[in-house]
Chain A
Amino acid sequence: MSQENRLHALDAARAFALLLGIVLHATMSFFFFMPAQDPSQSTTMAVTFYVIHVFRMSLFFLLAGFFAHMVLHRRGMRAFVKDRAKRILAPMTVGWLLIAPPTIYIVIIGMTKTFGGQAAAAGGAQIPPGFPLTHLWFLYYLCIFYVIALGVRAAFVRFVDPKGTLRARIDGVLRAGLATYAAPLLLAAPLFAVLYKDPAWMMWFGLPTPDIGLTPKLPALAGFGTAFLLGWLLHRQVEVLEVFRRQCFVNLAFAIGLTVFCLSLVGLKPNMMALTTLDGPAWSRAAYAGAYTLSIWYWVFGLTGLALRFFDNPSPARRYVADSSYWLYIMHLPVVFGLQVLLMDLPWHWSLKFPFIVLVTLAILLVSYHYLVRPTFIGGVLNGRKVSRRSKAGRGVTSPAPAAAAQLDPNPIDKKPAVLEKVTKRFDTTVALDGVSLAVEPGEMLAVLGPNGAGKSTAISLWLGLLEPDGGSVRVMGASPLEVTSRLEVGVMMQDVNLAPDLKVREHIAQTASYYANPLSLDEALEFSGTTPLAGKRYGKLSGGQKRQVQFAVAICGRPKLLFLDEPTVGLDVEAREAMWRAIRKLMADGCSIVLTTHYLEEAEALADRVAVLAKGRLIATGSVEEMRSLVTRRRISCRSGVDIDEIRGWPGVVEVLRDGNQVRVTAFDAEGVVRRLFVADSALSHLEVRQASLAEAFTELTKETA
């Protein structure tokens, strides 16, 4: 597994730990009195809380330690301190100022409602004294761990272990411990000692959350500190993570077994009257503390392994969620608590309220993330980078062209009917258009040619406003094609379109004509497109060619000044094709600009003023049909002669020689030279003809070069 893939997996695990916090807090009102006690109480919710609480923050601190070591080693001490100040210290301070007051206010309201009349007394008594860090305590402890880690590291490097032998030995012990499933025994020891000895330990609530008071709490330092340290050490030998991946199911089995055991001792719901004692034999307190602290590690290892096993590939959706999780977690508490307090008056069952709270919270916070955070400086602070929303350049906003260029160009850019300017468009990893600049001049027909996959339809779709470019600008009628107004003088004939089958031809034309300000009358449109005999027929009953004619009628019925025709004559018989060509020429004579895409090069040759050839997303040639043909220097010579073709093949400049009876066909670069030699070789030759290459030949030649 590559280093990058491991990071994807660990990032997903970190986001999972944070987002589970939203679920955790959303369960609280259904088995506990804070922030409010819901009338619908649930053991399921209590167990959900219990299980999540076992491992969630330890998993988070393990990953935090891992990433801290990574940032320190990738970017150096100075950058590390700066980065942590920006992404941890600043959000903690600002977040606390914004979030703590409403959260505390909501908790007071909720507890007042819960405890009714004796609210002030009872509720006040339930809120312990001390500085309320709220759920942002984790940022405070992160800062403490950073300071300790940097200090201890400096001591090791300078005094204790300048040669690194001790550190290498620690790495070895860790490897061995992890490989034999024994590491949790060692890792659980500090927390076990602290909790077992603490007579005030509220056992059901496991590792006490240090959310009140600025003095660091011993259990949190022992439990989360160990996790942070382990994460830090793991990044020293990243390949060890492979063990988690391999052992993930065994670790999870241990975790589940131990948690079930713990619940059997302590009960499925907290017993508020006896939080610090256990019923049962004397050994049960030690057994519970041991099983609980061990289970923390098996959960953390199992879940990390699960992430490495299943989320070790990059996924844009997961990346988005991971990026958003920090914001979601920081902001969620007042929303979750607020909803719990609001919903406590409703007679709904908890199984309804709980998902409702989680979903509404996620919806509110994701929307706020997408619009307020991701594209703004807040996203820059929280995620270390700001993600710009769709590039504004694509919306028809262009930097003004230099004045000199504007004067030289007879039709400055906003006077051209359709313009692509340095347009780039990607689909996932494929580059469909790569910096293409192409414009349609007023009143001309531009044929866009290219082999399949060259980027023709992407170019047309951009002009039609169906796609937005990743870079560069697209203009139609002087503005972005995304605006309806830009398209008011545009007509379109696409490929593979099924118009509504049960409408009559006449109705189709009337429907589309209603989109335009000054359309042709129904009769004019029918006549112009040669569809008068079809007017009363349902579209679904027409033949393929007739459908094409109707689509042409629909395209021209709005009196367009710019018309897009995509393979207009496919499926038409010769007569209908000639009729459509006549109609198209008439449109051009009236000043309509046309963009034609076709595979049928004779059509482009017969109609187009100018040709643009695309290949592999680049514009490889543009010019008049004549210019394009002359780009290909080969010419065709045909004559009647008896000269041996093998002899001709040996002449300079000859590409190909064919004989058909006494007819000889030669393709050559130097046509004059070949003709001279032909006369020398056979003075009796007749029917001599020299011809420039056709557009089809030019096209083949051009696109072959880029292939």
Chain B
Amino acid sequence: MNTNVAIIPAAVTRPAPMPLLALLRTYATEAKYETLNGLRNPAFAVPFLVIPVAVYLLFGVVMVPADIEPQWRNYLFSGFSVLAVMMPAIFVGCMGIALEREGNLLKLKRALPMPAGANLVAKLLTSMIVSSMAMVPIAIAGLAIGQLTLSLSQVLILELVMILGTIPFFTIGFFIGSVASGSAAPAYGNIVFLPMMWLSGLFIPLPEFLEPWTVVWPAFHLNQVALASAGVSEFSWFPPGMAVAVLVGVAVLFGGGGVWRVARVG
């Protein structure tokens, strides 16, 4: 008789993998608390929700010359919508992950059995939710007082494309956050965000020598895709298919880079 029999039952057995349903629940829970934590912090959420609609009202409605061709109002509406989605997307990405890294929370989560993608998906959903919340007031303002010539369904399509368009900007932010420290991340975020806002030609006319350079900014491509999807053809300067490819490329490149960093360095 083996005397060790008494010990063997205490020995470990391999845990069963999480069932799919439980896994989905994990993703949902993670996203829920991520968003909750973000929205409870007014310093974090308020600028994203207020600034875009405020600048739209000022520069896209009030200060627009009365004799402007009507389709330019549509263009401004689309441009400010891009602003509304890309700002939260970049900053949710970079702040969230940088703070988690700085506070060792990411390290803890990597040690816990959190499914690898849950944190990323949660942050992406948070940024999409905040982006949508930032865009709805612009849509309402545009439809109510913006004198748009777009139909309601065109506006809805535009909004939908914008929300999907959060993804590449989020990955840019996520990549920044995966490299920078918590205190430096917003600065780096601004280094990307501010030039992109102006140089993509979203709402101010650019000097001629800068015009060919708009194509380096993802914001330009999102604007092109959104306008094309909504059937606005006057402002199509770039093949929409190529623009989608650029956005997907940006998302894959920066998302991949960020995940690679986070998975190894934490």
A515 at the interface (CB under 8 A from B): yes
Given contacts A492-B108, A497-B105, A515-B114, contact A485 B10 (CB under 8 A): no
The interface stretch among B17-25, B187-195, B198-206 is B17-25
Cα of A410 to Cα of B17 in the assembled complex, Å: 27
Bitwise, B25-61 to A at CB < 8 A (1) or not (0) is 1100110010011001100000000000000000000
Which A residues touch B212, using CB under 8 A?
348-349, 352
B68 at the interface (CB under 8 A from A): no
Cα of A341 to Cα of B107 in the assembled complex, Å: 47
Which B residues touch A514, using CB under 8 A?
25-26, 29-30
B231 at the interface (CB under 8 A from A): no
Cα of A496 to Cα of B102 in the assembled complex, Å: 10
| Selected contact of B112 from candidates A415, A492, A503, CB within 8 Å | A492
A416 near B12 with CB under 8 A, answer yes
Q: Tell me the count of chain A residues lying within 8 A, CB to CB, of chain B.
A: 47
B144 at the interface (CB under 8 A from A): no
Cα of A558 to Cα of B15 in the assembled complex, Å: 13
A466 at the interface (CB under 8 A from B): yes
A98 at the interface (CB under 8 A from B): no
Bitwise, A638-663 to B at CB < 8 A (1) or not (0) is 00000000000000000000000000
Given contacts A465-B110, A487-B111, contact A499 B105 (CB under 8 A): yes
B112 near A466 with CB under 8 A, answer no
Given contacts A466-B107, A515-B114, contact A485 B36 (CB under 8 A): no
Given contacts A411-B8, A489-B15, contact A558 B113 (CB under 8 A): yes
B104 near A490 with CB under 8 A, answer no
A465 near B111 with CB under 8 A, answer yes
B1 at the interface (CB under 8 A from A): no
B11 near A416 with CB under 8 A, answer yes
Bitwise, A136-171 to B at CB < 8 A (1) or not (0) is 000000000000000000000000000000000000
CB distance from B29 to the nearest CB of A (A): 4
Which A residues touch B37, using CB under 8 A?
500-503
- Which residue of chain A has the shortest Cβ distance to B115 in the bound complex? A484
B12 near A561 with CB under 8 A, answer yes
B103 at the interface (CB under 8 A from A): yes
B33 near A517 with CB under 8 A, answer no
A607 at the interface (CB under 8 A from B): no
B259 at the interface (CB under 8 A from A): no
Given contacts A415-B11, A502-B40, contact A485 B108 (CB under 8 A): no
Which B residues touch A516, using CB under 8 A?
113
Cα of A410 to Cα of B5 in the assembled complex, Å: 8
Which B residues touch A410, using CB under 8 A?
4, 7-8
A451 at the interface (CB under 8 A from B): no
Q: Tell me the count of chain B residues lying within 8 A, CB to CB, of chain A.
A: 41
Given contacts A511-B33, A558-B113, contact A488 B107 (CB under 8 A): no
B7 near A442 with CB under 8 A, answer yes
Which B residues touch A477, using CB under 8 A?
12, 14-15
CB distance from A148 to the nearest CB of B (A): 47
A466 near B11 with CB under 8 A, answer no
Bitwise, B167-203 to A at CB < 8 A (1) or not (0) is 0000000000000000000000000000000000000
B213 at the interface (CB under 8 A from A): yes
Which A residues touch B30, using CB under 8 A?
511, 514
Which B residues touch A486, using CB under 8 A?
15
Which A residues touch B110, using CB under 8 A?
464-466
A496 near B12 with CB under 8 A, answer no
- For window 498-555 of chain A, which residues contact chain B by CB distance below 8 Å? 498-503, 507, 510-512, 514-517
A443 near B113 with CB under 8 A, answer no
- For window 414-435 of chain A, which residues contact chain B by CB distance below 8 Å? 415-417
- Which residue of chain B has the shortest Cβ distance to A346 in the bound complex? B242
Given contacts A478-B14, A514-B25, A561-B12, contact A494 B111 (CB under 8 A): yes
B16 at the interface (CB under 8 A from A): yes
B244 at the interface (CB under 8 A from A): no
Cα of A496 to Cα of B113 in the assembled complex, Å: 19
A484 near B113 with CB under 8 A, answer yes
A494 near B108 with CB under 8 A, answer yes
A177 at the interface (CB under 8 A from B): no
CB distance from B164 to the nearest CB of A (A): 25
CB distance from A518 to the nearest CB of B (A): 10
A411 near B215 with CB under 8 A, answer no
Q: Hey, which bits of chain B sit against chain A, CB under 8 A?
A: 4, 7-8, 10-19, 22, 25-26, 29-30, 33, 36-37, 40-41, 102-105, 107-108, 110-116, 212-213, 215-216, 266
A-B complex: 3 closest residue pairs judged by Cβ atoms: A498-B103, A415-B11, A464-B111
Can you list 14 A-B pairs, Cβ within 8 angstroms, ordered by A?
A: A417-B12, A464-B110, A465-B110, A478-B13, A479-B14, A484-B114, A489-B15, A502-B37, A503-B33, A503-B36, A510-B33, A512-B112, A514-B26, A561-B12
